[in-house]
Chains A and B, each alone.
Chain A
Amino acid sequence: MPRQRFKTLTQQMFYILLTLRQERRGVDILEEIRSLTQGRVTIGSGTLYDLLEQFQDQEIIRQTRVEGRSRSYIITPKGEEMLEEEYRRICDQVKDYRRVMGEEETP
């Protein structure tokens, strides 16, 4: 695919990794993200499964437990690093936004 996966995280990827700082099952991730963002961010169950598989392949997260068909995951140091990088990128964007808006507000 042309998009360089995981170079920059989409909103959905960002929140999945954020919730996986704590060990969670797939279905718990969905609920946690809805609750955390008050329904602003929603992730489809199919998309969540596909992303979890890809994150695992890239060692961004790891599987911790399998109970029946329910699997639990947690973020890896590599994933933490990506999350941190994305956070810095967002912060930089916020800073840029404020600077520009601040300048615009100044007559």
Chain B
Amino acid sequence: MKETRMQLNFLGLWDQQAIVDKLEAMAAQGWMIQKMGNFFWTYTKIEPRNRRFWVTYFPTVSPYDPGPSQGQLTREELCARDGWQLAVRRDVAQVFYTDREDAVPIDTDPVLQVEAVRQAYNRRELPSRLATTFLSGFYVFIQFREFFRDPAEFLCSNYHLFALLAWAILFVFYLWGTVRDLLWLNRATRDALEKGTFLPPRSYAWAEMVLTVLAILLVVFSLAGLDGGNVYILLWMGCMGLMFWVTASLRNFLKKQGFSAAFNRTVTTVTSVVLTMALLGGVIWLGVSRGISTREESQPVGSYTIEGYTFDIYDDPLPLTVEDLVPVSAQWSREANFRSSFLLTQEQYRQDLIPGQEITNYEMAYTIYRPANSWVYDTVRRGLINSRQDEVGDGYVFTDHYQWVDPTPWNAREVYQAYWSDSILDTYLVCWEDKILEIKFYWQPTREQIAIAAEILKEA
């Protein structure tokens, strides 16, 4: 027969009534709380009994204190003399129990009770909640800025999409949680003053657990979208784990050695900041040195050097080649790169002449966008059109925009051609029913060549 039992638990420090209900139910089943960790609670076997529990808060407790303060011990002693034994301490919370049915509750003044919760909450919870709300809000802003800057690039990146979702969930979760807690504290204060009753907070432990797990999964998915994503996931999880382990171990070690709370807090904070910078710096350095990419990169088959610079040569299959349009023969580098998300696929192709050929100009670069739905289609179309904007200065307008042209040669719904400076470029934005093409010819294609390109790429 097992004498101890561990259970995963997501009840927050402030879920007073939910903690009491949980512990009373466990005692009735023959399990007495022994230790309350952040996620795991440990119980020891007892005779099943109707045991009453009480959760109370001692606001001046710090997790860096080398031990319980005199005041805390005095309060616990007083409670013990009145029939309430200390079961466990968890941060600012103290959990008491009694087997006496007639024991007077530990807190009999709701105003004082709410005041203790408010002080403890303001000291221990509110600063980190506000910081997380601000940080996640900032990241949501950054992701939205990326989206509006280049919707097509954003929408074909699972990394960006999942990161936006993860940060948005965290932002809403923390903002909602903070507002909910503060509203509850105000309501509880009013009830205590006007009705003389204590309003227990409602527990949202399950909702919070589901949202937290969802946000973590989205972060993992977003990292998985990177080139070498598995390495980043492992590194990220390893760094987070190491951070928590080192700071918690250091804090506990200094506590055991009897160092003051102020010294412990300073050393632990400095260590965690240095460690964060070192570990995150390492991960970023690794990313930069490896080249972070969300693209499915093609592999070069050779290289050539011009004026000291080396260029790769590729030989990837392309849906449309220069040879399909022009009867010329030369050596080209043919490169294909792909990016894909659950909303948009982006296929980038380019065919570049390798220097030293007899012919020039017969090169092209094109990108095919395959949107998953009409909203993505419209967003990408609008984003690509807006990517070229006239520059208006003091008394002059520098032309750089897409202009509508006859779509018939392309057999498309809409076609736009790029105007740049005082010239018309051979760059087209072609909107078919299910895909969008942005193509740049380095020569001026004939109407027949455009018809061939349209026929091939429309079916590609």
Contacts and interface: CB of A to CB of B under 8 A. Distances in A.
B189 interface: yes
Contact of A49 (B74, B115, B118, B193): B74
Contact of B108 (A27, A42, A70, A71): A42
Given A3-B193, A42-B104, A53-B71, A47 B77 contact: no
Contact of A69 (B56, B70, B105): B70
Q: Is the interface of A mostly helix, strand, loop or mixed?
A: helix
Given A27-B78, A46-B79, A50-B116, 6 more contacts: A1-B189, A42-B104, A46-B56, A50-B112, A51-B109, A69-B77
- Size class of the A contact interface (CB-based, 8 Å): 20 to 34
B112 A47 contact: yes
Contacts of B115: 1
A47 B106 contact: yes
A45 B84 contact: yes
Nearest to B84: A45
Contact of A71 (B74, B111, B189, B193): B74
13 contacts: A2-B189, A27-B82, A30-B104, A42-B108, A43-B104, A44-B105, A44-B108, A45-B104, A47-B107, A47-B108, A49-B75, A50-B109, A50-B112
Nearest to A26: B78
Nearest to B119: A1
Q: Is the interface of B mostly helix, strand, loop or mixed?
A: helix
Nearest to B96: A46
Contact of A46 (B75, B81, B111, B189): B75
Nearest to A50: B112
Interface string B110-139: 011101101000000000000000000000
B248 interface: no
Contacts of A58: none
A10 B108 CA distance: 11
Nearest to B94: A46
A28 to B, nearest CB: 10
A48 interface: yes
Contacts of A48: 78
A30 B105 CA distance: 12
Interface in A24-60: 26-27, 30, 42-51, 53
Interface of A: 1-3, 10, 12, 26-27, 30, 42-51, 53, 69-71
Given A27-B78, A27-B81, A45 B106 contact: yes
B109 A45 contact: no
Closest 9 CB pairs of A and B: A46-B106, A44-B108, A45-B82, A27-B81, A45-B79, A49-B75, A69-B77, A42-B104, A47-B109
B73 interface: yes
A2 B193 contact: yes
Contacts of B189: 1-2
A45 to B, nearest CB: 4
Interface in B167-214: 189, 193
Given A1-B189, A42-B104, A49 B78 contact: yes
Contacts of A53: 71
Contacts of A26: 74, 78, 81
B150 to A, nearest CB: 52
B107 A44 contact: yes
B181 to A, nearest CB: 17
A45 B78 contact: yes
A46 B106 CA distance: 5
Interface in B63-103: 70-71, 73-75, 77-79, 81-82, 84
Given A26-B78, A69-B74, A46 B193 contact: no
Contacts of A71: 74
A50 B112 CA distance: 8
A30 B82 contact: yes
Nearest to B82: A45
Interface string B364-385: 0000000000000000000000
B224 to A, nearest CB: 50
Q: Which has the most chain A C-beta neighbours within 10 Å: B70, B75, B112? A: B112
A64 to B, nearest CB: 15
Contacts of A2: 189, 193
Contacts of B106: 44-47
Given A1-B115, A27-B82, A70 B109 contact: no
